[in-house]
Structure 1
Amino acid sequence: MIIIDGQQLNLEVKNFANLEDLLVKVMEDDVLNGRVITDVYVNDEVFSEIYPHQAEDIEADEIEKVEIKTVSVDKMAGDITRELYKVVNLLLKAGGEVCSLFREANDFEALDMYQDFLQVLRDFMSMITVLRQECGLGDTPRLESALTTISELFSEIMEVQENEDWILLADLIEYELLPHLNDWKQIISEFRDQIKSRKDN
């Protein structure tokens, strides 16, 4: 039995070699047109890949039921843009605190907070990637320029970090990265406008 968003499909699990085969077929069909898979349940248990192509290892004869939950691409995009706005504000606040700690020569606490800051920055960049690839948003010259800038700044930050020049790192974050991140609020607003115009069409 294969169910998508509460609707049973006219497909049988036994027609597939394994779970990956089944999921690929479902994603290729028009069933998911304009939708993104959020959850997969196999025999009423949540399935999440721990390693790439783990779904290949689940043979069809082990499966009685596959339930797939989806959301519309526009809903997903809307949720991500809301999160992005929160993430930018979080980065601006945390970045300022990191800079202060480095300037106070409180290196241990500064480095601890800096690692968290970097992780949030990576998450931010991943969310932008999802918006572009999964949701088809934002391919504009302004976005391309902003992505190039943030990528270059990230590389520069890594280089300064390797040299352990914490004051220069604080300057780079405060005077270059944070003002650039603040500009992303306008880009996020443009993402929202794109989603709204797609819904209106």
Structure 2
Amino acid sequence: MISVDGRETGMDINQFQNLEEILLQIMGGGELEGRVVTDVFVNNESFSEIYPHQAEDIEIDEIKSVEVKSVPVADMALDITVELNKVVLLMDQGARRVAELFRQADDAEALEVYQDLMDVTRDFLNMIGVLRGESVAKGTAAFDASADEISNLFSEMVEVLENEDWILLADLLEYEFVPAMTRWKTVIAELQESFRENDKE
């Protein structure tokens, strides 16, 4: 039996050679349009690939049932936006910690935490960009203003970092980076609203 979200697909397992063929057929069948796969169960056991195309190595005679579970893109996006608010709080705390370490002249520790902070910030901005691409309300003034602000601030921080002016970097983090990241909450709120609206349609 092959099912998607509890509904039988009518496909016969024996018409395929391996698990990958089944999954490709399901993905191409249109049933998952606007949805994200969250789980795949093979013979009632959770399956996830440990290496690329592992599904190809699972022969059809080993398979009795395949069940695919999914959620609407908007639901998953909404869940992610809730998590992003927590990330903003973590970045706020991280920036304040780096500033404090620089002011205590603990430069090595400060630079290590600063690098982690920049990695988290980059991931955060990438995720916001992806969500904005999925959002109905693509043209938001808050997004453009926040993106410009953080871009200019990054340029300034790189310059200060090169000059090894740790106190100025501490000031930039505490008095400019923290408020700039807090303003992203407006963008997150707009994205949440957009996904909620999309969910109602």
Letter in 2 for 1:109: E
Say whether the 8 Å CA contact 2:136–2:194 is kept in structure 1.
yes
Letter in 2 for 1:3: S
What's the counterpart of residue 185 of structure 2?
Answer: 185
What's the counterpart of residue 174 of structure 1?
Answer: 174
Say whether the 8 Å CA contact 2:37–2:69 is kept in structure 1.
yes
Structure number, greater radius of gyration: 2
Partners of 1:150 and 1:61 in 2: CA distance: 55
* Displacement of 1:163: 6.5
Once the two structures are superposed, residues 16-40 of structure 1 have per-residue CA deviations (whole angstroms, 9 ceiling, x without a partner) of 4544443333223231233211122
Structure 2 residues not aligned, in runs of 5+: none
* Displacement of 1:114: 2.8
Structure 1 residues not aligned, in runs of 5+: none
Partners of 1:162 and 1:50 in 2: CA distance: 41
Say whether the 8 Å CA contact 2:135–2:194 is kept in structure 1.
no
- Other structure's SS at 1:41 match: strand
* Displacement of 1:8: 2.4
Q: From the superposition, tell whether residues 111 and 139 of structure 1 become closer, same or farther in structure 2 (CA, over 3 Å).
A: same
Partners of 1:130 and 1:81 in 2: CA distance: 11
Q: From the superposition, tell whether residues 173 and 198 of structure 1 become closer, same or farther in structure 2 (CA, over 3 Å).
A: same
What's the counterpart of residue 140 of structure 1?
Answer: 139
Q: What percentage of residue pairs aligned between the two structures are identical?
A: 50
Say whether the 8 Å CA contact 2:98–2:114 is kept in structure 1.
yes
What's the counterpart of residue 65 of structure 1?
Answer: 65
Partners of 2:131 and 2:16 in 1: CA distance: 31
Partners of 2:152 and 2:44 in 1: CA distance: 45
Aligned length: 200
Q: From the superposition, tell whether residues 199 and 103 of structure 1 become closer, same or farther in structure 2 (CA, over 3 Å).
A: same
Tell me the TM-score normalized by structure 2: 0.77
Say whether the 8 Å CA contact 2:135–2:191 is kept in structure 1.
no
Q: From the superposition, tell whether residues 199 and 18 of structure 1 become closer, same or farther in structure 2 (CA, over 3 Å).
A: same
Once the two structures are superposed, residues 158-189 of structure 1 have per-residue CA deviations (whole angstroms, 9 ceiling, x without a partner) of 67656755445434433443222111111111
What's the counterpart of residue 78 of structure 1?
Answer: 78
- Other structure's SS at 1:32 match: coil
- Other structure's SS at 2:174 match: helix
Letter in 1 for 2:32: L
Q: Which deviates the most, 6-15 or 139-148?
A: 139-148
Partners of 1:158 and 1:60 in 2: CA distance: 55
Q: From the superposition, tell whether residues 145 and 32 of structure 1 become closer, same or farther in structure 2 (CA, over 3 Å).
A: same
Partners of 2:103 and 2:128 in 1: CA distance: 31
Partners of 1:3 and 1:85 in 2: CA distance: 35
Partners of 1:191 and 1:16 in 2: CA distance: 41
Tell me the TM-score normalized by structure 1: 0.77
The RMSD of aligned alpha carbons is 3.1
What's the counterpart of residue 46 of structure 1?
Answer: 46
Q: Does 1:106 align with 2:130?
A: no
